[in-house]
Amino acid sequence: MAEPAVPHTWASRLRSEIERWVSDGIITPEQRDSILGRYPQSEAAGRDRTILILTLLGSLLVGAGVILFFAANWPKLSAGFKLAAVVAAVMGSYGAGYFFQYSPGSFPRLGHSLIFLGSLLYGAGIWLVAQVFHLDSHFPTGFLVWGLGVLPLTAATRSVWVLYLTILALTIWTIMEQTGGPAYNFLYPFIMLAVAAPLSRKVKSALAEVGITVGLLAWFLAAVMTHLSGLSPRWEIAIVARVFMLYGAQVFAIGVARLGDRRAFTALGGLLSLAGAYMLTFRQPYGPAGAMPSLLSGPAVLIAGLGLVLAVTLAAGLLAGRRKQPGALRLEFFAAVPVVAALFAHMLPEIPRMVAFNLLLFAGTVGWIILGIRMRSQMVVNLGLGAFMVHMLTRYFDLFFSAMNRSLFFILGGLLLLGGGWFLERNRRRWTQGWGGDDVEA
């Protein structure tokens, strides 16, 4: 009897491994065939993915070609003809996409790609109509009209690629709006949280959830920097670093509380927190000296809002976890570490702060690797090992670049890298031995 569908990466690895088992005499070719026979869907999934990638690439090429064709602004074509051509291209692509995706016995992957092409053509159409009629409106508004225009299509088709496009267009819009002038643009988080996030859940796309999370970080950073405009670059970095830590803690808490995709949110949140801590391990070299501003001197509404969301997340995660595993150590508590560090970093003088954040980063990286082992996630372990190496190399360059003979510096640096690589590879193998797939849920 066939097993249920399994992840394509897992099945692919099984197929490559099983040939080695046969050649090593562990199993017979007949046993290989019967094992592979349990996962017939994995072959089809691989083919489907190839078809989807090919047709999506085709859509992107056609979309780029159409944009460039109209960008040439051929004078022989009248304005009415150009408008009709744009509308016909959009409707034709959607019509063909619907036919191929939903008609019985047809080609759903091709249909999906054509619907995606239609949403690209619609975006191109906004600027092409502006070109035809010499319209000169506020440029970022084009991205807003694009993102909002394809949003209902995402709901109607559940197309994950159209959803990615929506998130991308709206995020470009808010970044352009917020960096072009002082603006908090509260419409962006509202659309993301009230519309795009539920849609991501419906289409079950962790990547879309991660895209929304990164977009909201960009929005939050731009809003904070708007409030703090005029600050010296020295302290802008310090503010950005602590926003990364606060926001990373929030995302991490969502992940470990399983309020979002566990692996994606845990990994992203941890990375953001570690990146924020890393920024504060340096002596701040730019601008005049002075006391680091408190994070609470930033926009009070935004910081308080983030704190409130964090508190709600933690409470929901703790309650859910207590019901599932009474008395177990909750990982949510680790989210408190970057929060406390971010809120109180300004109280320390510069050198003690650098030392404290180096220790914190070291502890955080080690804790991150342990978490990856506990979650049985190679991705988390590998990211943790990478972060560890980056931290060590940075300090090596900081401390020894000016103090040592150059040739000795590079020789020792090279040996450090080679030795570190050997050490990490050996331990990673030991830790991840027997996990089987790329990532295994704990």
Partner 1 sequence: MRRKHWFILAVAIQVLVLLGMAARHAYTVRTGQPVMLETAPVDPWSLLRGQYVRLSYKISMLREGEVTFSGAPYRDGQRIWVTLRKGDPYWKAVSVSDRRPATATGEVAVLGTVQWMSWSGEPSGESSTRRPAEVSVRYGIEQFYVPEGEGRELESGRASLSVEVRVDSLGRAALSRVFRDGKEITWH
> Given candidates 51, 130, 195, 370, which one binds partner 1 under the rule CB under 8 A?
130
Taking the complex as a whole, the smallest distance from the CB of residue 151 to partner 1 amounts, in Å, to: 9
144 touches partner 1 (CB under 8 A): no
Please say which residue, 153 or 256, places its beta carbon nearer to partner 1. 153
Please say which residue, 75 or 104, places its beta carbon nearer to partner 1. 75
70 touches partner 1 (CB under 8 A): yes
Q: Work out the burial of residue 304: count CB atoms within 10 Å of its CB; fewer than 13 is exposed, 13-18 middle, 19 or more buried.
A: exposed
155 touches partner 1 (CB under 8 A): yes
Sign of CA dihedral 360, 366, 372, 374: negative
222 touches partner 1 (CB under 8 A): no
Cα separation, 104 vs 385, whole angstroms: 49
Count of beta carbons in the 10 Å neighbourhood of residue 232: 15
Taking the complex as a whole, the smallest distance from the CB of residue 175 to partner 1 amounts, in Å, to: 16
> Given candidates 11, 153, 280, 295, which one binds partner 1 under the rule CB under 8 A?
153
Taking the complex as a whole, the smallest distance from the CB of residue 45 to partner 1 amounts, in Å, to: 24
- Determine contact, residues 302/223, Cβ cutoff 8 Å: yes
> Given candidates 29, 65, 152, 419, which one binds partner 1 under the rule CB under 8 A?
152
> Given candidates 1, 2, 72, 289, which one binds partner 1 under the rule CB under 8 A?
72
User: Which of these ranges, 55-63, 74-82, 361-369, 412-420, lies near partner 1 under the rule CB under 8 A?
Assistant: 74-82
355 touches partner 1 (CB under 8 A): no
User: Which of these ranges, 11-19, 88-96, 299-307, 418-426, lies near partner 1 under the rule CB under 8 A?
Assistant: 88-96
Please say which residue, 67 or 343, places its beta carbon nearer to partner 1. 67
Q: Which of residues 94-113 bind partner 1 (CB under 8 A)?
A: 94, 98, 102
Count of beta carbons in the 10 Å neighbourhood of residue 74: 9
Give CA separation, 331 vs 147, 288, 371, in Å.
Answer: 36, 40, 9
Cα separation, 399 vs 394, whole angstroms: 9
Cα separation, 121 vs 77, whole angstroms: 19
User: Which of these ranges, 64-72, 190-198, 408-416, 424-432, lies near partner 1 under the rule CB under 8 A?
Assistant: 64-72
Taking the complex as a whole, the smallest distance from the CB of residue 301 to partner 1 amounts, in Å, to: 20
> Given candidates 28, 31, 34, 73, which one binds partner 1 under the rule CB under 8 A?
73
75 touches partner 1 (CB under 8 A): yes
Cα separation, 154 vs 139, whole angstroms: 24
118 touches partner 1 (CB under 8 A): yes
User: Which of these ranges, 125-133, 311-319, 374-382, 429-437, lies near partner 1 under the rule CB under 8 A?
Assistant: 125-133
Taking the complex as a whole, the smallest distance from the CB of residue 201 to partner 1 amounts, in Å, to: 18
User: Which of these ranges, 41-49, 104-112, 134-142, 316-324, lies near partner 1 under the rule CB under 8 A?
Assistant: 134-142
User: Which of these ranges, 122-130, 234-242, 325-333, 433-441, lies near partner 1 under the rule CB under 8 A?
Assistant: 122-130
Taking the complex as a whole, the smallest distance from the CB of residue 79 to partner 1 amounts, in Å, to: 8
Please say which residue, 118 or 338, places its beta carbon nearer to partner 1. 118
> Given candidates 5, 44, 57, 135, which one binds partner 1 under the rule CB under 8 A?
135
Please say which residue, 150 or 249, places its beta carbon nearer to partner 1. 150
Contact map string, positions 176 to 205, toward partner 1, x by CB under 8 A: -----x------------------------
Kindly state the tokens that stand for 393.
């190399």
Cα separation, 271 vs 217, whole angstroms: 13
173 touches partner 1 (CB under 8 A): no
430 touches partner 1 (CB under 8 A): no
Sign of CA dihedral 279, 283, 288, 290: positive
- Residues within the interface to partner 1 (CB under 8 A): 67, 70-76, 78, 83, 86-87, 90-91, 94, 98, 102, 118, 122, 124-127, 129-138, 142, 145, 149-150, 152-153, 155-157, 181
